[in-house]
Amino acid sequence: QLQLVESGGGLVQPGGSLKLSCAASGLSLDYYTIAWFRQAPGKEREGVSCLTPGGVGTKYADSAKGRFTISRDAATVYLQMNSLKAEDTAVYYCAAFRNPYLAPCSLVSKGLYTIWGQGTQVTVSS
């Protein structure tokens, strides 16, 4: 069973940067689509970025384009966040589902993601 554990959240000033990590254990990340979602108080959980295995590609929400970068190594998925804004404040979750057919990842179909981490808080405030 794949398990995901996020880390790297914290308090940062507007304009600052944070790098979130999502450590995977239990199974290899090969053939797993991985995504970062976030949920601000009183709002629905929204997709931020996703990565299709096999180097197929990545996607970003409009709010993340040009500021966030998703990447991975053998056992960890990262989200580099630059030029942070107050509206980026949220709990950030990584999520995964097995995708052996390498279908392009989705930021909309949350129901596809069957494995979730516990979340890490990101607060952007001066």
Predicted pLDDT of residue 101: 87
Strands 68-72 and 76-81: antiparallel
Q: What is the pLDDT of residues 55-81, one digit of tens each?
A: 779 999 999 999 999 999 889 999 999
- pLDDT per residue, tens digit, the chain (126 aa), is 889 999 999 999 999 999 999 999 888 888 899 999 999 999 999 999 999 988 779 999 999 999 999 999 889 999 999 999 999 999 999 999 998 888 889 998 999 999 999 999 999 999
